[in-house]
């Protein structure tokens, strides 16, 4: 709340404050460390790998930024992604005899994913806004529901896309245009649209107002419930988009798909400078947060400096450091 006021009060063209620079500095430091430790770090192939694998969490985290900015939370996104992936595979496999391998069946799969995502998001949003149940409880519930549904659909095993279909669909993850792979392009588009919505459009201001102070927002003629509902629906839609990019990679979904994605997405949002209590959000900051998280993994894999047992420790320390850097900076300014 405080930050939103201070930011709003500042002239737009002032030098960026440390709260803005904090995550950027953390990212730059990581890139420098990565380059020093391994010469392949900045190679096109490695950069593509890191960006492409960030895309799933990244696309979801863009939606999560809006939900958190509006004062909500969604723990169900990882399970939801697994469920939608499973549903998509089942539908595409079932439609294979009638549609055959081709573009229509891929479009059908994509439509199923987007529709399922929006519906799942609307269900979360409806329970939270209309029925007034705590977002934490609702999404904890749906998290368990989707996780067990995907286990049930897969009969405890793994759902696999038909081999021919997979080969046909595979380029959606691995190919691209002008040497940039599709997941990176889709991620970038989601970020650009998200950034415009957040900082230039009325919807972004309504989200911030809702998360900042629900009652004041209400008296300022902001439809608080509808704004919240839209954020969850939008997040659901983006989970669907992420799933569309995820399924062609390995062509399978199981109970272990998307485990802990919700926490990674929330961590990325917070590292990026969005306030967990709501009221202020920064989409581009979320992107930095996502990149920091996946770059740590990448660097740890590329070096032998620390025992693999300690990967979690390094991640935890860097996440906390990145946030401390911002707080320190805020205190100074």
Partner 1 sequence: MSYMKMLTAGCTALAISAGGAFAQDAETKVIGVSIPAATHGWAGGMNFHAQQTVKRLEEVYPQLDFVLATASDPGKQVNDIEDMVATRGIDALVVLPFESDPLTPPVQAVAESGVWVTVVDRGLSVEGISDLYVAGDNPGFGRVSGEYMVSMMPEGGKIVVLRGIPTTIDNERVDGFKAAIEGSGIEIIDMEHGNWNRDDSFDVMQDFLSKHEQIDAVWASDDDMAVGVLAAIDAAGRDDVKFVLGGAGMKEMVKRVMDGDTMIPADVTYPPSMIATAIEMTAVGLTSNAPVSGTFTIGSVLITPENAAQFYYPDSPF
The interface region with partner 1, picked from 193-201, 251-259, 268-276, 277-285 by CB under 8 A, is 251-259
User: Considering all CA atoms of the chain, what is the largest pairwise distance in Å, rounded to the nearest integer?
Assistant: 65
Of the candidate residues 249, 315, 329, 330, the single one contacting partner 1 (CB under 8 A) = 249
Q: How far is CA 235 from CA 155, 169, 179, in A?
A: 28, 24, 28
The SS3 assignment for 222 reads coil
Residues touching partner 1, count (CB under 8 A): 33
**Residue whose CB is less far from partner 1, 260 or 320:** 260
Q: What would the two tokens of residue 294 be?
A: 């996946």
Burial label, 94 (beta-carbon count in 10 A; 0-12, 13-18, 19+): exposed
**Residue whose CB is less far from partner 1, 89 or 275:** 89
* Min separation Cβ 297 and partner 1, Å: 7
Distance (Å, whole) CA 267 – CA 291: 11
Of the candidate residues 6, 7, 38, 315, the single one contacting partner 1 (CB under 8 A) = 38
Q: How far is CA 23 from CA 17, 46, 56, 156, 315, in A?
A: 11, 22, 20, 40, 14
Q: What would the two tokens of residue 198 be?
A: 């957040």
* Min separation Cβ 267 and partner 1, Å: 17
**Residue whose CB is less far from partner 1, 224 or 300:** 300
Spatial CB neighbours of 180, under 8 Å, sequence gap ≥ 6: 48
Site string for partner 1, 133-172 (x = CB under 8 A): ---------------x--xx-xxxxx-x------------
**Residue whose CB is less far from partner 1, 178 or 309:** 309
Compute φ and ψ for 158, nearest 5 degrees.
-125, 135
Using CB under 8 A as the binding rule, the residues of this chain from 189 to 248 that contact partner 1 are: none
Of the candidate residues 11, 16, 97, 308, the single one contacting partner 1 (CB under 8 A) = 308
Using CB under 8 A as the binding rule, the residues of this chain from 52 to 71 that contact partner 1 are: 53
**Residue whose CB is less far from partner 1, 132 or 308:** 308
Is residue 301 near partner 1 by the rule CB under 8 A? yes
Concatenating the DSSP letter of every residue in 6-42 gives HHHHS-TTSPPPHHHHHHHHHHHHHHHHHHHH-TTTT
Q: Are 78 and 253 in contact (CB under 8 A)?
A: no
The interface region with partner 1, picked from 37-45, 121-129, 131-139, 262-270 by CB under 8 A, is 37-45
Q: How far is CA 311 from CA 31, 36, 258, 297, 304, in A?
A: 17, 19, 19, 8, 11
Task: Give the residues lining the site for partner 1 (CB under 8 A).
Answer: 38, 40, 43, 45-46, 49, 53, 148, 151-152, 154-158, 160, 174, 249-250, 252, 254-257, 259, 297-298, 301-302, 304, 308-309, 311
């Amino acid at each position: 709340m405080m930050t939103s006021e201070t930011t709003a009060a500042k002239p737009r063209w002032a030098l960026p404050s440390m709260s803005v620079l904090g995550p950027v500095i953390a990212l730059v430091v990581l890139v420098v460390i990565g380059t020093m430790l391994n010469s392949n770090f900045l190679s096109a192939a490695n950069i593509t790998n890191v960006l492409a694998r960030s895309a799933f969490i990244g696309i979801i985290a863009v939606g999560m930024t809006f939900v958190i900015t509006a004062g909500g939370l969604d723990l169900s996104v990882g399970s939801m992604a697994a469920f939608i992936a499973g549903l998509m595979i089942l539908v595409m496999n079932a439609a294979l005899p009638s549609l055959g391998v081709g573009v229509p069946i891929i479009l059908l799969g994509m439509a199923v994913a987007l529709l399922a995502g929006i519906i799942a998001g609307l269900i979360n949003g409806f329970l939270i806004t209309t029925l007034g149940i705590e977002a934490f409880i609702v999404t904890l519930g749906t998290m368990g529901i989707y996780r067990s549904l995907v286990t049930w659909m897969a009969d405890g095993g793994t759902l696999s896309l038909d081999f021919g279909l997979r080969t046909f669909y595979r380029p959606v993850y691995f190919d691209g245009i002008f040497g940039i792979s599709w997941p990176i392009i889709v991620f970038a588009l989601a970020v650009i649209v998200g950034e415009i919505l957040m900082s230039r459009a009325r919807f972004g201001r309504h989200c911030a107002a809702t998360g900042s102070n629900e009652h004041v927002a209400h008296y300022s003629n902001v439809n608080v419930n509808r704004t919240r509902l839209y954020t969850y629906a939008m997040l659901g839609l983006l989970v669907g988009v992420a799933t569309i990019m995820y399924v062609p990679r390995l062509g399978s979904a199981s109970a272990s798909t998307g485990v802990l994605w919700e926490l990674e997405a929330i961590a990325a949002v917070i590292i990026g400078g969005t306030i967990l209590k709501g009221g202020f959000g920064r989409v581009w900051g979320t992107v930095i947060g996502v990149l920091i998280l996946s770059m740590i993994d990448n660097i740890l894999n590329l070096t032998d400096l620390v025992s693999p047992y300690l990967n979690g420790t390094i991640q935890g320390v860097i996440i906390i450091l990145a946030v401390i850097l911002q707080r320190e900076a805020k205190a100074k300014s």
